[in-house]
């Protein structure tokens, strides 16, 4: 049976919003985000068909991808598609098959994405892929309560306000906004820097029923950097943290010292 072709963004004057995540199409976080953003513009959801947490900015290039409409994820009148790939794949297929949106929004992730988390976060990777298309992009994540519950309502409402503002004013080139929400109601929002928020990895060795070793990577959060100006500090104090993240990986301050300081390196082409 031939599959139905994707329905692209419409031609109305409403702003076009592509929503992705890494927790999968059935995550309550992406549902809350999409429904809140429907008041801001025309929303289409493109998300992984299964959880893709911590896959980073992976792109699938050695197998075909499936892009299927789904009507069972609870998005109401919002068009939703599922992809058997990574969060970045979702943005790539969404832009090429549905048309170029005005903004790419990722989340709301189940769990924080602060500090060093950004290097492996699939949630942030979807926003980074939006930047690769030259689009304003935002990533949203939610910290759970002590009981492990997630209340996405306050965060989704603030996300709608922030996305509306970005649609009106734009973002600097190659810069995304990484936003983390505390549990419960928000006291407000703070502009923050990334904290030294990382995991201390541990490797667990187990044996399968046939006696063969397998390994499980685990870890605990190491969060010593909790200053008021950090994402971690803001969230612990009950505020949404809004961190501008610029994709400029060159250590420009070291260029001059490397010229003449490394074998065969005599000059730099950058000021």
10-residue block means of pLDDT along the chain (271 residues)?
Answer: 76 96 96 98 96 87 94 89 97 97 97 90 97 97 84 96 98 96 96 82 86 82 75 94 92 81 72 52
- Is 154 among the domain residues? yes
Residue tagged 């549905």 (tokens):
98
Q: Give ∠ CA 73-78-80 in degrees, rounded to 5.
A: 50
Backbone angles phi, psi at 4, to 5 degrees: -75, 135
The pLDDT of residue 198 is: 66
> Is 230 domain-assigned?
yes
Q: Residue 254 has what pLDDT?
A: 82
pLDDT at residue number 189: 97
For residue 180, the enclosing domain spans 16-196+226-258
Would residue 188 count as lying in a domain? Answer: yes
What is the token pair recorded at 263?
A: 């074998």
Q: Would residue 144 count as lying in a domain?
A: yes
Rounded Cα distance, 265 and 55, in Å? 36
b/e string for 127-155 if b means 16 or more Cβ within 10 A?
A: bbbbbbbebbbbbbbbbeeeeeebbbebb
Distance between CA atoms of residues 268 and 245, nearest Å: 26
Q: Which of 24, 17, 243, 28 lies closest to 118, judged by CA?
A: 243
Count: domains in the chain: 1
Asked, for residue 206, whether it belongs to a domain, the answer is no
Supply the CATH number for residue 152's domain: 3.40.1210.10
Domain for residue 24, yes or no? yes
In a domain, 3, yes or no: no
Please check whether residue 43 lies inside any domain of the structure: yes
Coil vs helix vs strand at 168: helix
pLDDT at 22: 94
CA-wise closest residue to 35 among 62, 75, 70: 75
Cβ-Cβ contacts under 8 Å for 147 (sequence gap 6 or more) = none
């Amino acid at each position: 049976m031939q599959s139905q072709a994707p329905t692209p963004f419409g031609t109305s004057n409403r702003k076009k919003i592509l929503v992705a995540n890494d927790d999968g199409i059935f995550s309550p976080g992406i549902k809350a985000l999409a429904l809140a953003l429907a008041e801001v513009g025309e929303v289409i959801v493109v998300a992984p068909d299964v959880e893709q947490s911590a896959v980073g900015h992976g792109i699938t290039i050695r197998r075909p991808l499936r892009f299927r409409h789904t009507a069972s994820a609870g998005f109401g009148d919002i068009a939703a598609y599922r992809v058997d790939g990574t969060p970045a794949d979702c943005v790539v297929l969404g832009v090429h098959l549905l048309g170029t949106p005005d903004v790419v929004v990722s989340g709301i992730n189940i769990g924080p994405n602060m500090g060093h988390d950004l290097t492996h976060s699939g949630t942030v990777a979807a926003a980074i892929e939006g930047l690769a298309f030259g689009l304003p992009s935002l990533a949203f994540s939610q910290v759970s309560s002590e009981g492990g519950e997630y209340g996405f309502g306050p965060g989704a409402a603030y996300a709608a306000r922030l996305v509306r503002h970005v649609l009106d004013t734009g973002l600097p080139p190659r810069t995304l906004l990484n936003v983390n929400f505390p549990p419960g109601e928000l006291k407000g929002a703070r502009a923050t820097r990334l904290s030294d928020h990382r995991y201390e990895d541990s490797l667990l060795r187990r044996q399968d029923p046939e006696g063969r070793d397998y390994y499980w990577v685990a870890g605990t959060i190491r969060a010593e950097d909790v200053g008021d100006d950090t994402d971690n500090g803001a969230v612990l104090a009950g505020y949404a943290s809004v961190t501008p993240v610029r994709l400029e990986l060159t250590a420009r301050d070291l260029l001059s010292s490397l010229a003449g300081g490394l074998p065969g390196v005599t000059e730099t082409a950058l000021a």
